[in-house]
Structure 1
Amino acid sequence: MRHHSIICRLGAGDIDPIEIQHPGSRETAISFLDGYQRLSFGIGQAIDQLASKGMRPSETSIDLALVAGALTAADTRISRKTESQNAWTREIDLYVPVADPALWTSMSALLASTLHFLTGDRWRIFFRARPEGVEELTPIVELFRSAAPTSVCLFSGGMDSFIGAIDLLAQGESPLLVSHYWDSNSTSKYQDQCLEALQERYPETPIHQVQARVGFPQGLVANTKGEDTLRGRSFLFFALAALAADSTGEEMVIHVPENGLISLNVPLDPLRLGALSTRTTHPYYMARVNELFAGLGLRMRLHNMYGHRTKGQMAEQCADGEFLRANVHKTMSCSSPGKARYQKDPTNRQPKHCGFCVPCIIRRASIAHGCGDDITPYVIPDLHADVLNTNKADGAHVRSFQMAIRRLKRAPNSSRFDIHIPGPLIDHPDDHQAYEQVYVDGLNEVDRYLTGVKAQPL
């Protein structure tokens, strides 16, 4: 195992020595400020887009975006396989210059524990004052304010965020949609076509979007390959949303549209508890981020209005069901659409839904439940057509669902305990029954779809 220290620098003049807290730690310095005093790696792109709408974030929310940027650099460019003792848990220190070091230091313990829950790594975050001459990163905005959003909504290009945007617009809200991507050939395409569909459907409602390409090149951290588990991605998403919400100058709700089954993400089998069970929108994690916002004096809160609904129930109860059914195929739910490039058929290699990962299975079940016909292109068009090989990915995920469903049927009362496995639900003591119900309903939704699907070792 190798300990890593990511040192965030702000421009060529930021040269003061950093006292590394872990002896022998491998140091990686990253300059987040270019020669034009503009923040790099996509953060400046988000700030520029807000400025073009006459919106100006505070120094605190910019610092939050810097912390998220440093986290993302570490999370995506430090391999779990080679840099940890157990092929999972890394030890990483972040050194970040901020406008108010005392404020951020007071929140460092909460931040570290929140990130540990999210990614499974051991984090420490150390704060220092920004270098002389970079005391302010907030841009001067002289443009007339052209956006007056009533809320902020995460807009990933996925089915859940699409439903979230539809419901908000149908209710008369004017949400500011916040998107980020790195794989420019895939994710942004779905975000763009979903936004275009919304603008055509609701032409009289101003629909503003902030869409930033945020990421870091391969080889940024020397002598280690990149990492594709991306457990920290939602913190970056939340930080960009906070940047946008803060720019309104008003108290703001940040909508995080995510179905309850995925949000809880109860492991389907014991092997999924660590590496294969994400916590990107778990209620405990979101509560800690809200606690962080409050401690930093940011007037916003994360809210998932679908925490007690399955994906199918979201589709079924969508405020504009006809529009959803006509456009749901334009959304992306797959955990890794790039898998299509490995297909033998060259006509089938464009990024698309694989059809057999956990998110794809939940998607297929939800469309069957709430929309009807599914015209989404899948690498495996029909899971019912052939016996799936559980020794390969196309059958392993199906088998995991079948095992979890069978276990729940044998011990129905186990659901009340299962919902606590991924993390505590102490912030929502009155919602335990609702969480249990969405877990049971979600598995039953998948069970109905998988009826007749066969998966076994081949």
Structure 2
Amino acid sequence: MTKTDTRHIILCDGVTIPQSLAGNIPAHRILSLVGREGLSNRNLTVNIQGFASHLMPKLPERTRDLIEIASFIYGADRLIKRGKTDQVEYNSWSRDLIFCIPVRDLSFWQQEEAKTIIVAALSFMTGDLSYDFYFTQRIGGDPITNLFHGPEYSTTEINSTDICPVALFSGGLDSLAGVISLLEQTSQKVVITSHRSNTLTTQVQKRVFEALQIAYPNRLRYHPLECTLKEERAAEETQRTRFFLYTAVGFALAQAYGQDVLNIYENGITSINLSKRQDLMNGRASRTTHPKTLALLENLFTQVFGKNFTIKHPFLHMTKSEVVDVIKTYNKQDIISKTVTCTKTFQKFKNNTSATHCGYCSQCVDRRFAMYATKLEQYDTIYDFDLTTESFQSSDARTHVVDYIRQANTFAKTHFGDFINTYLDPLSEITEFLSKDTCEEDEISDLHNLYQRHSTAVERAYRRMAFLHDSIYRPAIQNSIYTIVNGRRFQLDRVECLANEIADMLSKTLPIAISDQKISHENVLNSHIQAILKRDRKDYEREYPTVRFSFSTVIPDHSYTNADEDLFIESKYIRKTMPPSRVTDQIASDLMKYPLDAFKLFIVYDPERRVKDDQQFKKDYEQRSNCRIFIIR
């Protein structure tokens, strides 16, 4: 199979393409990014409010280079499309990015060690195939209006003798809890920075910042970063490199304020992000605050700084509900509704135009459970979809909720030994970069305990949801979180869930499709079933991207797919003169053809009701084999 060429060249601030790359890559995969003011082809806006007056002179040239490098990487990340979201294969969803960037401190950035460190951090964080850099000497002056400009945005001046902790501030729940804890644990003023990529994000961050100003007068100094595309629409919204830019600015702020520590706040479940599905691996799974990412960035910043620099992650061993409890402890729950956690804020909400959250993305689901687990749901925000009171309107919404509860259910039942064996590879990536003061087994034990507490919090949250919204004296909410839990759908493998959905769908559609004709042969029945399956195939693949299913009477070759599980579908037609025993013999024979770990769905069409006892007909096979038999009449 020919490898897809995923290379892209990004020419920054007018740099020409290196001779060694000329002619190797098609013109449509050469991107020009310009961030300098005054140039007619400028398509990237970057500035940090509050740097102009007295912080700019405190930044060495290589630190200014770092921020511009991070800005160009972020701009390219948004303009260069990844693969389609329904592609399971890692290579189909990743890119090879080659940057040509002018810098001030050329001797530093041309060092192989500097390139190696930045490539390692970006490759792990984004899941892209590769990064490469060609650095050239930046020509011309460095006017203060180029990048570090804008009005002061703070409540008070800070003396050079002040010790000012620096923290990232996103406007979400975790960063709110982090800034509150920092303010409560020190009497010093606190410096915060945030990234503003669109108007809505700016409004949210201003709203939360203003609430913090009221709660903590004269305690905050705020330096928002603006980095947006200018007159170009983003082609890619995953924004995996956003955190690199974000932390680079936080590092620059810490350096300007004489600090060697940057504080980052996110709960451990989100940071570690053990995948709920195989299709969420690599570039699709966020690894922005993963311990390995932070260690790699810490290494890069130490090189740029010229001495040790530390990134602190105080919430790593805390669940989302424990983070929310921090806000509750300091009695600041009134600020919660001003924060935004949703990953779909760029979409227009249709069900509730005043909503700030979609209500069904993975972040919204996590937030919702955390608010109910801490009994603070009355302080929460407005959701376009209310998972506690409404039926699911889309398969995506249901999938996120099922995956979330399924993972909690898995961890609730996973003993320490199984935890190590099941997650050996991702755990090894974590423990290598955690504290050197404890042994590896103790670190894994702490992580196992973290996920156990998370499972407990999920169950506690659901019990409260059901107590408040699901009474036996009210009409049942069909296709809701309560029907999912009551039916224990989350305890089934995804492939079995898909088999059940297909069987249920066929039980409704197949009788209608063949109602006006007599089925003369099994092949005719097969054709009808196959036509119905093809109609809905894309929906199934979108909802179950890790399951590959095939309607076939022979074993197809699945060696080219990275899907976790296979589902094979066979149809059987019991005619009027056929004894049911012949069909059971056929099923037994078919079971021998397929891999033991694959799930088999047998659709048995029995219009003459030759099968007298459905349960007896099915039970021997369903109890002993990885299959389901569904009888349709």
Question: TM-score, normalization: structure 1?
Answer: 0.85
1:368 and 1:194, CA in 2 relative to 1: closer, same or farther beyond 3 A?
A: same
The Cα offsets for residues 156-208 of structure 1, whole Å up to 9 and x where unpaired, read as 10011111111111122321110111121x211221111111111111x4311
Give me the whole-angstrom Cα distance separating, in 2, the residues matched to 1:247 and 1:367. 37
Match of 2:382 in 1: 378
Whether 1:427 and 2:433 are equivalent positions in the alignment is: yes
Q: Among 113, 117, 120, which residue is 1:113 paired with?
A: 120
Cα deviation, residue 427, structure 1: 1.7
Whether 1:21 and 2:21 are equivalent positions in the alignment is: yes
Q: Among 263, 266, 281, which residue is 2:289 paired with?
A: 281
AA aligned to 1:312 is: S
Cα deviation, residue 310, structure 1: 1.0
The Cα offsets for residues 316-364 of structure 1, whole Å up to 9 and x where unpaired, read as 24485312x122111111111234x242x4xx23461122221112212
Q: How does 1:215-364 map to 2 (within 5 A)?
A: 215-217=228-230, 219=232, 226-248=235-257, 250-297=258-305, 300-318=309-327, 320-323=329-332, 325-339=333-347, 341-343=348-350, 345=351, 348-350=352-354, 352-364=356-368
Give me the whole-angstrom Cα distance separating, in 2, the residues matched to 1:320 and 1:91. 46
1:298 and 1:149, CA in 2 relative to 1: closer, same or farther beyond 3 A?
A: farther
The Cα offsets for residues 361-380 of structure 1, whole Å up to 9 and x where unpaired, read as 22122222335233433335
Cα deviation, residue 257, structure 1: 0.6
Which structure 1 residue ranges, 5 or more long, are not aligned? none
Divergent runs of 4+, >6 A: 82-85, 135-141
Query: Does 1 or 2 have the higher relative contact order (CA < 8 Å, sep 6+)?
Result: 1
Larger Rg: 2
AA aligned to 2:359 is: G
* Aligned residues of 2:409 and 2:455 also touching (Cα < 8 A): no
* Aligned residues of 1:4 and 1:91 also touching (Cα < 8 A): yes
1:362 and 1:16, CA in 2 relative to 1: closer, same or farther beyond 3 A?
A: closer
1:371 and 1:335, CA in 2 relative to 1: closer, same or farther beyond 3 A?
A: same
AA aligned to 1:316 is: D
AA aligned to 2:81 is: S
Give me the whole-angstrom Cα distance separating, in 1, the residues matched to 2:236 and 2:149. 37
SS in 2 for 1:80: coil
* Aligned residues of 1:269 and 1:404 also touching (Cα < 8 A): no
* Aligned residues of 2:45 and 2:229 also touching (Cα < 8 A): no
Q: Among 154, 161, 167, which residue is 2:168 paired with?
A: 154
The Cα offsets for residues 231-286 of structure 1, whole Å up to 9 and x where unpaired, read as 111101101112212222x2331110111111101111323223542101000110
* Aligned residues of 1:92 and 1:123 also touching (Cα < 8 A): yes
1:302 and 1:313, CA in 2 relative to 1: closer, same or farther beyond 3 A?
A: same
1:293 and 1:192, CA in 2 relative to 1: closer, same or farther beyond 3 A?
A: same
Match of 2:98 in 1: 93
* Aligned residues of 1:254 and 1:301 also touching (Cα < 8 A): yes
* Aligned residues of 1:108 and 1:126 also touching (Cα < 8 A): no
1:420 and 1:128, CA in 2 relative to 1: closer, same or farther beyond 3 A?
A: same
Q: Among 391, 394, 399, which residue is 1:396 paired with?
A: 399
Question: TM-score, normalization: structure 2?
Answer: 0.63
Give me the whole-angstrom Cα distance separating, in 2, the residues matched to 1:349 and 1:52. 41
Q: Among 74, 85, 89, which residue is 1:72 paired with?
A: 74
SS in 2 for 1:170: helix
Q: Among 443, 453, 461, which residue is 1:449 paired with?
A: 461
Cα deviation, residue 384, structure 1: 3.1
Give me the whole-angstrom Cα distance separating, in 2, the residues matched to 1:366 and 1:310. 9
Q: How many residues align?
A: 437
Match of 1:81 in 2: 83
Whether 1:178 and 2:193 are equivalent positions in the alignment is: yes
The Cα offsets for residues 31-64 of structure 1, whole Å up to 9 and x where unpaired, read as 2211299x98443x20x52224555422111111
1:338 and 1:73, CA in 2 relative to 1: closer, same or farther beyond 3 A?
A: closer
Give me the whole-angstrom Cα distance separating, in 1, the residues matched to 2:148 and 2:222. 19
Q: Among 103, 109, 116, which residue is 1:104 paired with?
A: 109
Whether 1:163 and 2:171 are equivalent positions in the alignment is: no
